[in-house]
Amino acid sequence: MPMHNGFLPREGFKGDTVLKIIRNTALNPKLVFPLLLLAKYTKMGQDWAILHPLAYSRLKKLLVFGLIRWINNYFSRKVLNNWVDDKYDWSRELVVVTGGAGGIGGQIVQLLAERGIKVVVLDIQPLTYPAAPNIHYFKCDLTSPKNLSPVAHTIRHTIGNPTILINNAGVVQGRTILDASEHDIRFTFDVNTLAHYWTTKEFLPHMAQSNHGMVVTVASVAAWVTVPNMVDYAASKAAARAFHEGLTAELQTRYAAPRVRTVLVNQGYTTTPLFEGYYNDSPFLMPALEPATVAEAVVRQVLKGESGQLILPGFGNTLPVLGGMPHWYQIRLRAKNQAIMKAFKGRKVVEDVERFYEERERGEPEPGEGMEEGAEAGASTVLVEK
């Protein structure tokens, strides 16, 4: 599964392509600075600057903007990584991917495995692709710390201590606040938010102790934009974003582990079965993403061994400012986007969440039941891929 390296993304000519052209030309100091030198120190350039003073002035402004952008990116990258470097030996690292049986998670697993990296998959579903020898699959209910604990114990003692955790699993119900049952809402938060806490509590202690590792939080652009029929989903993703921000601060100030990296992923609508029926009202600026596009962005960031934030597509970078916009604009935008989920019929791995919680309340499987590699899942086991 080779990485896509074409000029145009898989999604075709979209807003991101325009942004890419601007970044690589008008806001690229490596290109603009030589042009200014030519305009200042060559006869032809001096003549051009005299004949076109406005263009010459704008060229100088572009250089300033480009340098400011470069300096900003440099300091952001350094601060995100606590001004310390780290080395990754990919022959020895172990990656855990939740929801890695298919979809975005499955693509991430395969891309990593093809590079010889050992990967552990936690998911309710069987793998939808051939498992290489370095892919280890476990069925597990991530919503239950009691269920997760024996799985984590098995991983640590039979495969090794994970050094990279990718919290990718997610669910969406697509119901309004009044239509969603108590268990619908609990299930959304259990998978999309609370599971991040349980997996991190299992695998972060070794990372912090060795001052080496990475936690990737797959959130969503919905963490910034809430629309009808997605209130619980957006709230759970906003909570996941806050989890990432707090974890980043605690690694530096509480655990003395500045080399443990954190990555936040805010991806837009992605064409997985989870979001079937989703209506995309802005196909140029916010196009539907292919699962491989998101997976490759995550894998590239992981292979860098650096903290960071991935916002896909690029126009999503404008969404965090929505909360600071006038209320007349915010409310109008949310009302306008009410059509997004009207025809939603996304896949649900667990059709009856009421029964799921009833069975859990009656009693969970014994620790380790249904947790061996390739074994059948326990009755309460549930996990879906993003």
**Distance (Å, whole) CA 120 – CA 98:** 8
Catalytic position from the list 56, 88, 233, 357 = 233
Place of tokens 């299930």: 187
Q: Which two tokens stand for residue 170?
A: 């997610």
CA 130 to chain centre: 24
Q: Which two tokens stand for residue 169?
A: 């699993």
Q: Which amino acid is at 98?
A: T
Asked if 80 and 255 touch (Cβ cutoff 8 Å), the reply is no
Beta-bridged to residue 122, according to DSSP, are 98, 138
Asked if 232 and 194 touch (Cβ cutoff 8 Å), the reply is no
Residue 233 a catalytic site member: yes
Pick from 123, 132, 91, 117: which is nearest to 105 by CA?
123
**Distance (Å, whole) CA 100 – CA 118:** 13
**Distance (Å, whole) CA 379 – CA 306:** 39
**Distance (Å, whole) CA 177 – CA 28:** 47
Catalytic residues: 233
